[in-house]
Amino acid sequence: MDKATAEQVFKKPGYSPYAGRNFPTRPFFGDTHLHTSSSFDAVAFGNRLGPEEAYRFARGEEVVSSTGVPARLSRPLDFLVVADHSESIGVLGDVLAGNPMLMSDPTVRRWNEMLKQGGEAAMKVYYEIVAAIGGGGQLPTVLTEPRYIRSVWQRQIAAAEKYNDPGRFTAFIGYE
């Protein structure tokens, strides 16, 4: 081996042990697309857990699943983005919970009963909302009232802020 080759292969260490590094030394693990009960499709499909439970689960805490089974990650995540759908964000979770701000509308009350039944009845609510949003129909006005929509978004932000723990766990505020 000649001197030039040896110098390339056996480079002298830099002043700092990090000099010359061009690769990550600590990978981070997380999820950038998680739906909770703030997404209308997730509720229709049976998810009853909200953003707070999602952040707790991601941080390694034990939660009880929508089916009543305790669940816990073997290794906590480093970050999580609760990416609920922006369209009708929080609506079905609030309809299912019987949010008094919404129960004045007869369609919303009917959906509340259907969601409580679960299964095919809950899926019919999903189809009605998809038809209203995608088919040029209209959601009940109580669900599109700006004050209500702001309250839902504020809850999303509050959950992320509550569980964000700089240096240990990052709760990103997001939506799809």
- Residues 141-169 pLDDT 10s: 998 888 888 999 999 999 999 999 999 99
pLDDT given for residue 44 in this prediction: 84
What is the pTM for the complete model shown?
0.78
Q: How far apart are CA 116 and CA 14, in angstroms?
A: 65
Q: How far apart are CA 89 and CA 97, in angstroms?
A: 14
Cβ neighbours of residue 91 under 8 Å, at least 6 residues apart? 40, 129, 139, 143, 152
- Weakly modelled stretches of the chain, pLDDT under 50: none
pLDDT given for residue 163 in this prediction: 98
Instruction: Name the one residue in this structure whose structure tokens are 């759908």.
Output: 85
**Where do the domains of the chain lie?**
29-173
User: Sign of torsion, CA 14 15 16 17?
Assistant: positive
